[in-house]
Structure 1
């Protein structure tokens, strides 16, 4: 993964996709996924990347949850923008997040042969 400069302007929010419902209430320190623990950072997406990320990594998943995180809550030094599978500048959080960082959570579902891109592109919630 090659580090890239952060996008300009920076998005107000970054997003965490999870295949299962998040804990309710959101804990002070959100539990890391196995992949996040293994890689040493939290995999996140910028708003414009969500449809791409969903189709690449959740193509066989009929439903998932997206956690909306306020980017300004994290020190700039803890978020690295890396190229991953041709998607330029995916945000990776070298640290943790929790209840104070999560602005909102939504479940998304798809039917039949719909792609995540069809469902998520233009979704106003992904600002």
Structure 2
């Protein structure tokens, strides 16, 4: 299940509070695909994986990666699932999101492009 795979999620109000921005700014980040969101929990609230953020805002390497994965035909939930599914063959042990956070954007995007074939 996506919720348990990701682990920590921020609701829109939680993300706004942590970043010190208005709720509308977080909603705009979602609309602009700077971050992806999913409906989680019993109440199916809109939430964003915590690892999509730095202390200053959305991780810059995500937007292009989202585009590559979407171009491969993945939905937003499938993109989140792919980013958080462990892959022992990546440069950094763990999931693609961990490799992205460690600076291996090119390798993660190369793998994402392979999904289209």
Q: TM-score range by the shorter chain?
A: under 0.3
Higher strand share: 1
Output the TM-score relative to the length of structure 2: 0.26
Higher helix share: 2
